[in-house]
Chain A
Amino acid sequence: MTSTDELRELARKCRVHIVNMVHRAQAGHPGGSLSEIDLLAALYKTTLRVRPDDPDWDDRDRFILSKGHASPGMYAILAEMGFISVDDLASYRVLGGICQGHVDMKWCPGVDFSAGSLGMGLSFGMGSAIAGRLEGSERQVYVMLGDGEIQEGSVWEAAMAATHHELGNLNVILDRNRIQNDDFCEAQMRMFDIPAKWKAFGWNVKEIDGHNMEEIVDGLNFLQNSNDGPSILIAHTVKGHGVSFMADNPAFHGAAPNDEQYAQAMAELGEVVA
């Protein structure tokens, strides 16, 4: 078992990669990458049955980053897990690079879905879950959704269908960072009682602090062990978590730090920049 201290260190390293990527590209989405990364680090390290040396292994668990703009977070953990190399991270948003602006299954090993258009991943995950069931496999499907993303109607079509089909192997992790593109969710589209909405659709629901490793590990156990129907882990997070000036700041949804901000971010993440 990986200790929560080790998970925290893994997440810290991923944060460094994330900031490096968006700074180098001078574009991209740091905010939602930093909010999701503690969850991704724990998911990949403790839960997902995947093989970095055989990324297309048929019976692997599936992970679908539906909020595909938060790709730096996914590329960072794929590099730390050995699906891709740390050098590959330099190809983020570069012509011909495997790290495309939005995660793309045709370009990058370990990516199970070509995302970038919000509201598509849960339906795709449902298809993957039905395929697993048809094959009599125990494999699980995990879909990461953004809280802005769940404003898309298609998410709720999938949410309804998943309970109708009793897909116990389908799991959602919701990155509840309270910020979307233009502003706070509260200003753009109030969603009121999100847990109640999923409960009303028949889902198993658990809420955690998405930056507390003990709670995250606990939450992932909940997803793995509730197989009587689809389950959702609502992770309360802070967009931009780990970099003070990005934290809870809508301006860093889709903006890169300048050189000065970059140096500050690296210092805050405990990294010495040459």
Chain B
Amino acid sequence: MTKMAATRDGYGEALLELASNPKVVVLEADLGKSTKSLHFRKAHPERTVSCGIGEQNMLLVGAGLAASGYIPFASTFAIFTERAFEQMRNGVARPNLAVHVCGSHGGTHTGTDGSSAQSIEDLAIYRTLPNVIVMHPSDVVSTKVLTMQLAATVSPSYTRTARNKTPVLYEGRENEIEIGKGIVLKEGSDVAIIACGVMVSQSLEAAEALTAEGINATVVDMHTLKPLDGELVDRLVSSCGAIVTAEDHSVIGGLGGAVAEHLTSNTFAPLERVGVQDRFGESGQADEMLEVMKISAPYIAEAAKRAIARKA
């Protein structure tokens, strides 16, 4: 049996370990039980700031703390970070203050809460902000490692985590994980599937199905969308000649957008983007939502074949 865990738990574990640094402070907006900052709050109430249900206030309190030498980690649902987008833009990103925002329950995978809770645009909007690191890790281990690395960065960041459990991929492989460096999980020369978050394990499944059909796919976990690992994308273009991106996010502006932007300015290769097709979600179980949105493993495999067919 594959071991399963939710990436949001990796965030919670990282905060607890980071607590040994007295400069680390945690900000909450009445969702600590959900984003998993509650463990830090229990252990270090004096360094946890409850902002009530007030996301806009929370982000700028974070900015004030960062400007005073603290390392603030602020979390709420991915969707509700968006309410404070302009605060993030003008009060955090513009002065380049290292506030680390974690948006949990990202994507349609979050399930039956429905469309109001399913952020499908967070990665896109934060990617437009100068200075901001944007990440969407795929498993609990990498979420923990990447969150811990954030404490040493001098840039603000946005990290999306997921509500529901996904396969654990990196146990014992912690030292392969680094902000800004995509991870090749499987090598193949016919097509490269670049994925993030919950779609990484779907992509591995797709690659397995493709192998049975004689197609060898590379699978990359692009946990950092910004800065994008362009060198790796260039290598994939020359080794595979066809690319698929896979994300539980709009096909506009997220991972697919980032890779498309890179390809148009560098070596070109056919690209198929698997993601949410410019629509809102609805209530459904996590696995049902991947089907409704047509982003589960079989759809990735189909996209791979389309990309291969488009090779010159």
Q: Which A residues are closer than 8 A to B by beta carbons? A: 25, 27-28, 68-69, 93-97, 100-102, 104, 107, 114-119, 148-149, 151-153, 180-182, 187-189
Contact = CB atoms under 8 A, between A and B. Distances in A.
B79 A95 contact: no
19 contacts: A25-B112, A68-B116, A93-B112, A96-B282, A101-B113, A104-B115, A116-B114, A148-B52, A153-B54, A153-B57, A180-B53, A181-B34, A182-B30, A182-B31, A182-B32, A187-B50, A188-B53, A189-B30, A189-B53
Interface in B53-69: 53-54, 56-57
Contacts of B32: 182
Contact of A101 (B34, B56, B112): B112
Interface string B14-46: 000000000000001011111000100000000
B116 A182 contact: no
Given A119-B53, A152-B53, 10 more contacts: A93-B114, A95-B284, A95-B292, A97-B283, A100-B282, A101-B113, A101-B283, A153-B54, A181-B31, A188-B52
- The 3 A-B residue pairs with the shortest CB-CB distance in the complex, in nearest-first order: A116-B116, A189-B52, A151-B52
Contacts of B311: none
B239 interface: no
Interface of B: 28, 30-34, 38, 50-54, 56-57, 79-80, 83, 112-117, 282-285, 288, 292
Nearest to A25: B112
Contact of A116 (B30, B83, B113): B113
Nearest to B117: A116
B295 to A, nearest CB: 15
Contacts of B284: 94-96
A10 B79 CA distance: 36
B53 A117 contact: no
A102 B116 contact: yes
A100 B52 contact: no
A189 B61 CA distance: 15
A69 B80 CA distance: 14
Contacts of B79: 117
Contact of A95 (B56, B117, B283): B283
